[in-house]
Amino acid sequence: MPFFICTTCGTQYAESAQPPADCRICGDERQYVGLGGQHWTLLELMLDEHENHLEAVAPGITSVETRPTFAIGQRALLVQHPDGNVLWDCVSFVDQDTVDSLAALGGVSAIAISHPHFYSSMIEWSQAFGDVPIHLHNGDAAWVSRPDPRVTFWAGETYPIVDGLTLVRCGGHFEGSSVLHVAGSAERPGALLTGDTVKVGWDRQSVSVMRSYPNLIPVGPTALAHVEQVLAPLEYDDIHGAWTGHSIRGNAKTIVARSLARYRQAITE
């Protein structure tokens, strides 16, 4: 039976003879059902309409962006590491050309995803690279729409995938919303890969945190304080967000501190 994909959020669901009655990701207050109502597609139907574009965004970090834009339009980021490459976040579309291109960069040894909006076709991606593990925070386990033994759940505030690549739970957007900390080295500066757990502003000189971006629901002071607390010990120069061009290059830690202080003032005045 087919695995239907929601065209609004890009989430792939467990196999079923007919499309699900609705998408519970889009039905949540953080997301939305499109103006035209609920619609579904299949990965095989996307093959003639889409392709993935790869682009180096930093030394050892390559973006994977689906063109034309599909669903939310986020990019995935491949982080190269001598102990195995990690794919950060995910997109709905994957094909053999994408697999071959990433294989030339060392392949994918593990997948880690910031939050449920970007779970997309994570099982298809895992299968494409030999059933690699998918690391999700257990605070968001209830949002997995295609359960699979390849999914592994981590708990607590931090989880080291390999030396120098550490998942950090920030919360705010979702209970388990996380970022990936890439430790600095001689080859590349320290960086945060944030999805939209900590969203890079359009000015690329600020960040923000929201419970819902499309529906404009802010987080409160307690959630904001937790984000600040878990990011404070981390050393990083750059941030690479969920969309193409949404990167902060240099001075990122100072920009985060300034942005979150501005946020606190705005919600408490």
pLDDT tens for residues 102-152?
A: 999 999 999 999 999 999 999 999 999 999 999 999 999 999 999 999 999
Q: How far is C-alpha 237 from the chain's CA centre?
A: 20
Q: How confident is the model at residue 258 (pLDDT cuts 50, 70, 90)?
A: very high
Domains belonging to the chain, first-starting first, are 5-268 (3.60.15.10)
pLDDT above 80 for 28: yes
Q: Which two tokens stand for residue 251?
A: 């001075």
State the Rg of the chain over Cα. Answer: 18
| 3-class state of residue 141 by DSSP | helix
pLDDT above 90 for 267: yes
Share of the chain above pLDDT 70, in %: 100
Q: What is the pLDDT of residue 269?
A: 85
Instruction: Please state, in angstroms and rounded to a whole number, the distance separating the CA atoms of residues 243 and 70.
Output: 12
Q: Which two tokens stand for residue 58?
A: 């930093």
Q: What is the pLDDT of residue 189?
A: 84
Q: What is the pLDDT of residue 268?
A: 93
What's the whole-number mean pLDDT along residues 188-216? 96
Share of the chain above pLDDT 90, in %: 96
Q: What is the pLDDT of residue 124?
A: 98
Handedness of CA 224, 134, 14, 64 (dihedral sign): positive
| Residue 133: cis peptide before it, omega within 30 degrees of 0 | no
Which DSSP category does 265 fall into?
H
Q: What residues have CB less than 8 Å from 87, skipping those under 6 apart? A: 64, 76, 77, 78, 79, 102, 108, 110, 111, 112, 125
pLDDT above 90 for 185: no
Q: What is the pLDDT of residue 128?
A: 98
| 3-class state of residue 249 by DSSP | strand
Closest by CA position to 149, among listed 132, 166, 167: 132
Residue 165 pairs in a beta bridge with: 162, 182
What's the whole-number mean pLDDT along residues 224-233? 98
pLDDT for 53-84, tens place per residue? 999 999 999 999 999 999 999 999 999 999 99
pLDDT above 90 for 164: yes
Instruction: Please state, in angstroms and rounded to a whole number, the distance separating the CA atoms of residues 241 and 232.
Output: 18
Helix (H) or strand (E) holding 63: strand 61-67
Q: What is the pLDDT of residue 100?
A: 98
Instruction: Please state, in angstroms and rounded to a whole number, the distance separating the CA atoms of residues 193 and 246.
Output: 11
Instruction: Please state, in angstroms and rounded to a whole number, the distance separating the CA atoms of residues 133 and 159.
Output: 14
What's the whole-number mean pLDDT along residues 177-198? 93
Can you give the length of the chain in residues? 269
Q: What is the pLDDT of residue 59?
A: 95
Instruction: Please state, in angstroms and rounded to a whole number, the distance separating the CA atoms of residues 241 and 15.
Output: 31
pLDDT above 90 for 88: yes
**What is the separation, in whole angstroms, between the first and last Cα of the chain?**
54
Closest by CA position to 181, among listed 222, 240, 109: 240
Q: How confident is the model at residue 188 (pLDDT cuts 50, 70, 90)?
A: confident
Q: How confident is the model at residue 161 (pLDDT cuts 50, 70, 90)?
A: very high
Output phi, psi for 162, to 5 deg: -145, 170
Which DSSP category does 47 fall into?
T
pLDDT above 80 for 187: no
Average pLDDT, the chain: 97
